[in-house]
Structure 1
Amino acid sequence: MRARLPLLLLLAGTAVLYLWRLGDSGWANAYYSAAAQAGAQSWQAWFFGSTDAANSITVDKTPAATWVMGLSARLFGVNAWSILVPQALMGVASVGLLYAAVKRVAGEAAGLIAGAVLALTPVAVLMFRFNNPDALLVLLLIAGAYCTVRATGTASWKWLALAGVAVGFAFLTKMLQAFLVLPAFGLVYLLAAPTAVRKKAWHLAVASGAMVVAGGWWVLAVELVPAGSRPHIGGSQSDSVLELALGYNGLGRLTGDEVGSVGGGRGWGSAGWSRLLGAEMGSQIAWLLPTAVVLLIAGFWAADHRRRTGLALWGGWLVVTAVVFSFMNGIIHAYYTVALAPAIGAIIGIGATALWRRRQEPGAAAALSGALAITALQCYLLLLDWSPGLAAAVLVLGLLAAVGLFLSTVAPAAVVVPIAVVAALLGPGAYSVATAATPHSGAVPSAGPDNGMRGGGGLVLIGPGGGRDGGGLLSAPTPDVELVGLLRENSGKYRWGAAAVGSNNAAGYQLGSGVPVMAVGGFNGTDPAPTLEEFQEHVRSGHIHYFLGGAGMPAETGSDASERIAEWVQDTFEAVTVGGVDVYDLTAGAQR
């Protein structure tokens, strides 16, 4: 028990940080909360990842993350805690699994350092307290890395196949982003597993097959179901999961050619090496990123074979993911960088302990000292605008510890090491606590204290008429009591209690009323679902009670069906204002 005490303290501290005041964020990302609500009401909606229980359209991701939230909502009711607690528990599990993976190649101290760095990375605190798919993605990718470590040590095809299964389910969480770790996993096994090259190639083929099965069964099932018997695939112009995976959520993110996207490049900055260190992403992930680069290079020089294998695995993860994030021309948000946090933590844990073992050598002492000095300077720069006093304290403490590390042959380790650890983690730790203390909501959250970017990352786009149209592209409305009562009245007679342009608009009304609301045009309002003719048929058949709001964002690319539907409704039915929202009764017949 005493031997496990440091790990238990790490996990307990992580749990407190991730669960503390968790309910303050409410629905967090209402888009996914609405899908969880739908999944709790309908098994069909749960399987497909529909945004409403009547199955009009799915979320624009594969549904593994909504499966977890939907099951939790079924068991514990639809509320903020049932949706957000699973994410926090995934965070605790991620820290524990990272510790286990790093410990196998570099020992307990390295594992504890890796876990602590992950736990206290601000963007990790944000995403493990939020309900975007990234929490499950990170957990599954760490699981894949752990299995790869086990497989590489013994040349085990079974462990390698399990790694493939983990990555396959990560694909079902966030599509092609899951595959960014594959070059590192495959090359490390091919180069380091203790068996013949022919066997290693066969093992990799088996693992690839396991990945395809784990990630492809749902895709195949959806493609085999006739379009009329399932919801439209959100984010797709042709109602195809494959198009979504390879286009809008795939190659389009690299090239910027994302049919159906709105915003025209606003909100995700310029591509280039400086992106990860810039104003938008730096405070999320860059606290220890330069340190990880230094320790990756120096660690290869100082480490033994086993530690080098670990550095190759996590270094490959870091380099490939960082390059893609830095140079992709499509939509990218700062919270994506949570995928870098496990690799940064692992590299720091392995590299720092490898250098510490050789601290009596001038080169190792200089590398340790330089890495800590860089950490102190980086944290100082990131803290300066938020807390100048803390920034100065971190800089002074870090530089003093850096001197102590350089003089490690004479400086007492019992004094230098604790100061070095505090200096390295104080900055991101303080920012992480501020993140946990701040409610976050909307589609594009940002770690840190209330900085004016909560609830949409500073990009809130609404349709004509302003508040009378409800929410916006990235934020969900909160209907008042009068509107909720109207939506609930006789709602059992209709397949959808209402329809609204855009998934976030629909999500706000649906979560507030508990009534299925059709998201016309999907997330951006640019999906061809439904078409004007299909919507008119739903109205003639009495499937939809009300239409809420206006036309939303004009389409730059993709379908203009939602604009045409909104124009037809406005030309055909009379609007009344309820709770500040224009409401059209689609069962009242033509009024103009």
Structure 2
Amino acid sequence: MTVVTESATAVTPPGDAAAPDPRWARPALWGLLLATALLYLVDLSSSGYANSFYSAAVQAGSKSWKAFFFGSSDAANFITVDKPPASLWPMELSVRLFGLNSWSVLVPQALMGVATVAVLYFAVRRRFGPAAGLIAGAVLALTPVAVLMFRFNNPDALLVLLMVCAVYAVQRALEAGRTKWLVFAGALIGAAFLVKTLQAFLILPALALVYGFLAPVRPLKRLGQLALATGALVVTGGWWVAIVQLWPASSRPYIGGSQNNSFLELTFGYNGFGRITGDETGSVGGGAPSGGTGARASAGGGTGTAGTGGSGAGGTGAGGTGTSGAGGTGTHAVTGTHAATGTGTGAGTHAATGAHQAFTGGGGMPGGGGQGGGMWGQTGITRLFGSEMGGQIAWLLPAALILLVAGIVLTWRARRTDADRQAFLLWGGALLTTAAVFSFMAGIFHPYYNIALAPYIGAVVGMGSVALWRRRQHPLAAWALALTVAVTGYWAYTLLGRTPQWLPWLRWTVLVAGLVAAVGLGLGSRIAALFAARSRRSALAAAGTVAGLALAACLAGPAAYAVDTVSTGHTGSLPSAGPGGMGGPGGMGGGHGFPGAGGGTGAGRTGGRQGGFPGAGAPGGTAQGGTPQGGFPGGTTAGGPGAWGAGAGTRGGREGGMGGGMGGLLNGTQVSAPVKALLEKDASSYTWVAAAIGSQNQASFQLATQDPVMAIGGFNGSDPAPTLAQFEKMVAARKIHYFIGGGGMGQAMGIGGTDPATQISTWVSAHYTAKTVGSTTVYDLTTPKSS
């Protein structure tokens, strides 16, 4: 606790970055980094390949330099992932060095997390001293969503590292108007563009405005420096894009996630403005292209009426009837004893009638309900505090907002180039712009995206708390600090109350400790005077006790969530941190999200047993995955390859299976030893040992065999690649050995876009004989049905 008990004169003076640190600072830093490394590395292999979609691409890039460059899903380079490839490159180099295994895939992510904590420490320490840097680093390290994603293989780990480095570079540029640091910041953001496209630009307005108004150089020079930084951004972010756009499409993989094989269309559509507006052609819930045809209904044995011009799918079939309209309005109903009914009108609910109740969600499928809710959950200013997001990121978000205001007030009358105010506006601006976009974006939004906020929250909390602590003799500063701790303690009490059966004692402990610490901070000057009568050492000890109690109260909640996250393996594309989060097979968990698998860890009324979406089958088949309880679709069908799910409820809910479609999205498809042996036989004679609808379905088989497997339709199964004619030509040339039944999340959800995967599935079932191996349906494409 000596970190926070130093007197104001003993702390590194503001603005003196070259001043020596106190003796405790360096050991404390190494302790923080060591503890972070242990937290991020312990039992790392429990998550296996984590998100198999990216792990399959890593496997491909470790076998083919062409796949490495383009970010292909398979080493034969049929289609890419739906992101640029930069986040894959560190993992692919690791696999090339150490072989394909869970550790070689995930260790680079964990090391990026440690590096991010270190960079944040040095950035905050530079202006506010080592105590502030340690607090900032600890807040980041213990944020549950950060613990999750620095142990996972989604692109966010590298994105966050580059973003923190970019803000730090701008901070260095602001110190003396240094051009090289600003250009370096532009280059870092350009590199981040090659990780997750336009998300890298969310903080650009804040960085540009702060530098443009507050840099200690002439206005014309500022404009010139910003222009040079923009040029660096364009070069580092554009070189790969230019090569891909100029490369002949016939000799490169299809750009996954796009509808016309264009990376620019992917960038500004599905991965760009579509995320803001919700109009994401080819995604779950996205509309069809203008004038296009909606996807068919995903009800086995039924008929579907296709919509046009962006309308969704409707139809009748086994399990009930359902229609979904464009723009987030419509109904999705299932009839039966335990039926689920719901309306999606922006503030929709997905409730249930009958003996079992389903979950409440905004506009139908995932996400919390409430005004402004859509397919991806409630939007609005309270979104980040809601049931899905709060436990991931919001533990110290109220504190950061209070301390940001306090920091601006403290520096309000300072000169224009005041470094402390620059820092508050820089990190606080990054926090506010990112939080605003996340709060109101209507498109795809998953809880794990919130990792982008974690370093900004940590920086503001570290800076603000130390700035107020230095002025704690002033009553307003003392009570502002007290308010921050009291609000944080009460908010932690609220968040912990959302999982009432999990550590019930902790929420009361945090609340009491926070309130006691708040009173101690508010009365700090009186307490100091009381103990000072005895000795200065007694006064410092009393202040240290109060500060330590405040830190413990503020960090106990996220720390408990962090430990729980580490103790649970996480797989699939929709991970979430903490108790009730989506872990490994058997459960989806989390209140007010997707309906969880019946045997999972989900809190509240989210289990597959309690209602969900109807079972689905292929045309001419009967749904076997959905049950009277309305579980998620899964399983193969009679009469054709399953429209959604490979295997009867593999790795799925207790009542309704989740196979290659939604189950693959969550946990991947389980590949049995007989299936693996079948695919590996004569594998070298074929370009692709198999083809499967949807990348998550494909990835499991590719990782099992380590041979190329074609992902028909890309991630969602909705990309127009290959067309039926192209697929027929490849089959005739004996390039593909097997077709794997099931998969195609996008088709089963009735999303927009062209539907070649459906045509291919129907063509295969008409011309080839189904064979069940274990729980997987396969078709030998070298042996057509006899006439």
Is the TM value for this pair above 0.5? Answer: yes
Question: Highest Rg: 1 or 2?
Answer: 2
Deviation at 1:508, TM superposition (A): 0.5
- The 2-side partners of 1:580 and 1:275 are apart by 40
Cα contact 1:438–1:450 (8 A) shared by 2: no
Given the alignment of the two structures, is residue 381 of structure 1 paired with residue 494 of structure 2, yes or no? yes
Residue type of the alignment partner of 1:577: T
Kindly tell me: are residues 215 and 307 of structure 1, through their superposed partners in 2, closer, same or farther at Cα, counting changes over 3 Å? same
Given the alignment of the two structures, is residue 576 of structure 1 paired with residue 771 of structure 2, yes or no? yes
Deviation at 1:514, TM superposition (A): 1.1
TM-score (norm 1): 0.98
Residue pairs, 1:337-486, within 5 angstroms: 337-384=450-497, 385=500, 386-411=502-527, 412-451=542-581, 458=594, 464=617, 466-468=634-636, 469-470=645-646, 471-473=660-662, 474-475=665-666, 476-486=668-678
Q: Deviations over 1:515-552 (max 9, x none)?
A: 11100000001001111111111000000000001363
1:306 paired residue among 411, 415, 419: 419
2:736 is aligned to 544
Worse overlay, 548-557 or 329-338: 548-557
> Once the two structures are aligned, what percentage of the paired residues are identical?
55
- The 2-side partners of 1:201 and 1:590 are apart by 70
Residue pairs, 1:67-86, within 5 angstroms: 67-86=89-108
Residue type of the alignment partner of 1:128: F
SS of structure 1 residue aligned to 2:635: helix
2:82 paired residue among 60, 75, 82: 60
Q: Deviations over 1:242-296 (max 9, x none)?
A: 0001000000000000000124673221211111000000000010001110000
Cα contact 1:121–1:285 (8 A) shared by 2: yes
1:328 is aligned to 441
Given the alignment of the two structures, is residue 199 of structure 1 paired with residue 329 of structure 2, yes or no? no
Worse overlay, 156-165 or 452-461: 452-461
Kindly tell me: are residues 121 and 298 of structure 1, through their superposed partners in 2, closer, same or farther at Cα, counting changes over 3 Å? same
Residue type of the alignment partner of 1:573: Y
Deviation at 1:563, TM superposition (A): 0.7
- The 1-side partners of 2:511 and 2:472 are apart by 23
1:529 is aligned to 721
2:68 paired residue among 43, 46, 49: 46
- The 2-side partners of 1:417 and 1:302 are apart by 21
Residue type of the alignment partner of 1:512: A
- The 2-side partners of 1:344 and 1:463 are apart by 43
2:431 is aligned to 318
2:689 is aligned to 497
Deviation at 1:454, TM superposition (A): 5.2
Cα contact 1:479–1:579 (8 A) shared by 2: no
Deviation at 1:383, TM superposition (A): 1.1
- The 2-side partners of 1:5 and 1:452 are apart by 36
Worse overlay, 282-291 or 182-191: 182-191
1:162 is aligned to 184
Given the alignment of the two structures, is residue 124 of structure 1 paired with residue 232 of structure 2, yes or no? no
Given the alignment of the two structures, is residue 284 of structure 1 paired with residue 420 of structure 2, yes or no? no
1:229 is aligned to 251
Cα contact 1:124–1:341 (8 A) shared by 2: yes
Q: Deviations over 1:568-589 (max 9, x none)?
A: 0011100100121110000113
Deviation at 1:443, TM superposition (A): 0.3
Given the alignment of the two structures, is residue 270 of structure 1 paired with residue 378 of structure 2, yes or no? yes
SS of structure 2 residue aligned to 1:574: strand
2:710 paired residue among 518, 522, 530: 518
Stretches of structure 1 that go unaligned for 5 or more consecutive residues are none
Worse overlay, 263-272 or 348-357: 263-272
- The 2-side partners of 1:280 and 1:575 are apart by 41
- Bigger fraction of residues in helix: 1
Cα contact 1:463–1:550 (8 A) shared by 2: no
Q: Deviations over 1:338-383 (max 9, x none)?
A: 1000110000011111111111111111110000000000101111
Kindly tell me: are residues 534 and 493 of structure 1, through their superposed partners in 2, closer, same or farther at Cα, counting changes over 3 Å? same
Cα contact 1:478–1:512 (8 A) shared by 2: no
Cα contact 2:574–2:582 (8 A) shared by 1: no
SS of structure 1 residue aligned to 2:151: coil
1:488 is aligned to 680
Residue type of the alignment partner of 1:320: T
- The 2-side partners of 1:497 and 1:408 are apart by 71
- The 2-side partners of 1:366 and 1:125 are apart by 32
Residue pairs, 1:131-280, within 5 angstroms: 131-263=153-285, 266-267=365-366, 268-280=376-388
- The 2-side partners of 1:117 and 1:319 are apart by 18
Stretches of structure 2 that go unaligned for 5 or more consecutive residues are 1-22, 287-362, 367-375, 528-541, 597-612, 618-623, 625-633, 637-644, 647-659
Kindly tell me: are residues 459 and 531 of structure 1, through their superposed partners in 2, closer, same or farther at Cα, counting changes over 3 Å? farther
- The 2-side partners of 1:578 and 1:148 are apart by 58
- The 1-side partners of 2:522 and 2:487 are apart by 14
Kindly tell me: are residues 379 and 454 of structure 1, through their superposed partners in 2, closer, same or farther at Cα, counting changes over 3 Å? farther
Matched positions, count: 592
Cα contact 2:676–2:704 (8 A) shared by 1: yes
TM-score (norm 2): 0.74
- The 2-side partners of 1:53 and 1:453 are apart by 29
- The 1-side partners of 2:566 and 2:507 are apart by 20
Q: Deviations over 1:182-217 (max 9, x none)?
A: 111111211222110100110000000000110110
Deviation at 1:2, TM superposition (A): 5.1
